[in-house]
A and B are shown apart, each in its own frame.
Chain A
Amino acid sequence: MKNFSGNVLFLDRSDINTDEIIPAKYLTENTKGALKPYLLEDLKLDDRNPSGDIQGKGVVITRANFGCGSSREHAPWALEVNGINLVIAESFARIFRQNMYNCGLLAVELPAEKIDQLFSTFAGKNTFVETDFGKNLFIIKGDGQEIKISFTVSDFDRSLVEAGGWVDYADRKYQ
């Protein structure tokens, strides 16, 4: 199982699409590692590109419908090769969410008010998420403050994470 704790990159907008996460022109790469420099290249938040803030981050916290648009699994791969194995959002696009779990990565939904609280408490500050996957608990720390939030992951999604992804899971289970 992968590490789901890390420093937080806050992306304060809904509907961040997979073209913004990894532009189509890089889909000609045949290895996941080659995607590393291009994560969030076309994303603009308040006229600012946040790709310079990725270094050292392990968790993304964002708003609703994260990962909408294209089905490209290059989006979770680009996150993963940058050390980001966990995205916490108000909601996800279906394919992106499935792709995360299929890769053994974690995409966790929290209610809008919890997401609001995380942004208002921690955005702009050095923030760390400690994930206890066994206890379904996030401990979020930053600037002397600490918030504990429990989360839910379905049994199926949990088994994908524990199996390291859908290929290993399906290979064991289906003829």
Chain B
Amino acid sequence: MGKTIAEKIFDSHSVDNPSGDIHVISLDAVFCHEITTPIAINDLVSRGKDRVFDPEKIKVVIDHVTPAKDSKTAMQGKILRDWAVRNNIKDFFDVGRNGVCHAIFPEKGFVRPGYTVIMGDSHTCTHGAFGAFAAGVGTTDLEVGILKGVCAFHYPETMKINITGNLKEGVFAKDVILGIIGKIGVNGATGKVIEYVGPVVDTMSMEARMTLCNMAIEAGATSGICYPDITTVEYLWKFIKDDYVSKESALIEFQKLISDTDAEYEDVIEFDVDTLEPCVTYGYKPDEVKPVKNMDGTRVDQVYIGSCTNGRIEDLRVAANVLKGKKIKEHVRGIVSPATPGVYSQAMEEGIIKIFMDAGFCVTNPTCGACLGMSNGVLADGEVCASTTNRNFNGRMGKGGMVHLMSPATAAASAVAGYITNSGMFKK
């Protein structure tokens, strides 16, 4: 019997099989941020075990609330900062050099095909875009990961989603994943790995694949995963060029991970994008999805472009393309948060930041802040936000606020219109 990519990764990392289908796997990377890690650090200290399994494999960023907004968030940063120094963790990204975790860690080349990655953050599934098994975990799993370099999972069951057809102009990876979640539901892939395959994925950039994998958790999946291919090799080449004689040899090595043709799947879903239109959520769950045209005219108070879902350079380019030469509606507060300093810098060089500012957007530093209602764009009771983020839960961006999830193109067009609407990029 053949193996799926996730099964191959598990087989090469399994260190224990304590019972049933539970496998304890070794970890290639443990990512940390200031919201879920400090309590793990405090617990390790109180146990007299203030150490890490491998300082090279631990990557740390302050991203959720940065710069600190109050004494509590300042203390979270301090606990993380002091711990990194004590434990000789070199890859620590603080104010000025920090970005949204699931954007900055790939950008630094910290994720490779075949890796196992955990982080105390549910959107860790993003890193599966590189052909890695990457899973969000709680603080206790994180704590054991930091201390021992292992984590326990059920042996992976996989849902294969075959994405076929041709994306219409103005329809993006965000629309594809919203469409998929709308189809399978928020509980549709619980406990499973979603393997995204097919011609649409093959032609996607790494950024688009990250958007696709990022929201796997919104269908309950443990990880999203894409096959490594030449696009993956090109993205990683500057980090791996000393490890392989050529891109072709790297590709051959990575593609050994690809699922066997006789691999066994829990589910296989066909998703054709030929008729897919730009999508938007309407309720408090990410599977409550409609075509944008069905929500056209819904007034918005704030438009937010950023996050681990859609704060990368391609996302900003698309939004800028819509905004160029236009002003956002007077009643709209436009906020753009480039996801990393690298994205910010690139956007400045390309003139994108100027387009945003000329349109009337506020440009913030890289941070997760607004997405989960912690800082930099919290909604008031009764306000509505058009957002490129990943969660529309009740109260997510502020108590009593309503969040509509959409692509950067739709968000930019909605900022100009003052209500939810399709971008001119969308050609029916």
Q: Which B residues fall within an 8 A CB radius of A?
A: 15-16, 18-20, 22, 24, 35-36, 38-39, 42-43, 47, 49, 64-65, 70, 72-73, 75-76, 79, 120-122, 124, 136-141, 143-144, 147-148, 150, 152, 186-187, 190-191, 217, 220, 222, 285, 372-374, 391, 393-396, 399
Answer yes or no: A165 CB below 8 A from chain B CBs. Answer: yes
* Distance, CA A110 to CA B285, complexed state (A): 24
* Distance, CA A73 to CA B70, complexed state (A): 22
Cβ < 8 Å to B, chain A residues 126-151: none
Contact of A94 with B138 in the complex, beta carbons under 8 Å: no
* Distance, CA A95 to CA B112, complexed state (A): 23
Identify 5 new A-B residue pairs, CB closer than 8 A, beyond the known A19-B391, A68-B190, A70-B122.
A27-B374, A73-B39, A98-B137, A99-B138, A159-B18
Contact of A98 with B141 in the complex, beta carbons under 8 Å: yes
Contact sample, A vs B, 13 pairs, CB 8 Å cutoff: A15-B186, A15-B285, A23-B395, A28-B70, A31-B39, A65-B187, A76-B138, A93-B220, A102-B141, A156-B18, A167-B144, A170-B147, A174-B24
**Given the complex, which residues of A lie within 8 Å of B15, measured CB to CB?**
174
8 A-B pairs with least C-beta separation: A73-B138, A99-B138, A102-B140, A42-B395, A24-B372, A155-B19, A65-B187, A71-B122
Answer yes or no: A7 CB below 8 A from chain B CBs. Answer: no
Answer yes or no: A175 CB below 8 A from chain B CBs. Answer: yes
With A70-B122, A72-B138: A156-B393 Cβ-Cβ less than 8 Å? no
Answer yes or no: A29 CB below 8 A from chain B CBs. Answer: yes
Contact of B220 with A23 in the complex, beta carbons under 8 Å: no
* Distance, CA A155 to CA B404, complexed state (A): 42
Q: Which A residues fall within an 8 A CB radius of B?
A: 14-15, 17, 19-20, 23-25, 27-32, 42-44, 64-65, 68-73, 76, 91, 93-95, 98-99, 102-103, 154-156, 159, 165-167, 170-171, 173-175
Q: Which of A20, A65, A71, A166 has the most CB of B within 10 A?
A: A71
Contact of A28 with B72 in the complex, beta carbons under 8 Å: yes
Give the interface SS of chain A, mostly helix, strand, loop or mixed. Answer: loop
Contact of A17 with B393 in the complex, beta carbons under 8 Å: yes
**Given the complex, which residues of B lie within 8 Å of A165, measured CB to CB?**
140
* Distance, CA A171 to CA B144, complexed state (A): 8
* Distance, CA A113 to CA B395, complexed state (A): 31
Cβ-neighbour of A170 out of B148, B190, B391 (below 8 A): B148
* Distance, CA A159 to CA B64, complexed state (A): 34
Contact of A30 with B141 in the complex, beta carbons under 8 Å: no
**Given the complex, which residues of A lie within 8 Å of B49, measured CB to CB?**
171
Contact of A71 with B394 in the complex, beta carbons under 8 Å: no
**Given the complex, which residues of B lie within 8 Å of A68, measured CB to CB?**
186-187, 190, 220
* Distance, CA A141 to CA B22, complexed state (A): 34
Which residue of the partner chain A has the closest CB to B68? A28
* Distance, CA A43 to CA B122, complexed state (A): 20
Contact of A174 with B148 in the complex, beta carbons under 8 Å: yes
With A25-B374, A30-B79, A167-B140: A15-B187 Cβ-Cβ less than 8 Å? yes
Shortest CB-to-CB span from B371 to chain A, Å, is 9
* Distance, CA A25 to CA B15, complexed state (A): 37
Contact of B393 with A69 in the complex, beta carbons under 8 Å: yes
With A20-B393, A71-B121, A102-B138: A30-B38 Cβ-Cβ less than 8 Å? yes
Contact of A14 with B70 in the complex, beta carbons under 8 Å: no
**Given the complex, which residues of B lie within 8 Å of A24, measured CB to CB?**
372-374, 396
**Given the complex, which residues of A lie within 8 Å of B148, measured CB to CB?**
170-171, 174-175
Q: Which of A14, A27, A29, A173 has the most CB of B within 10 A?
A: A27
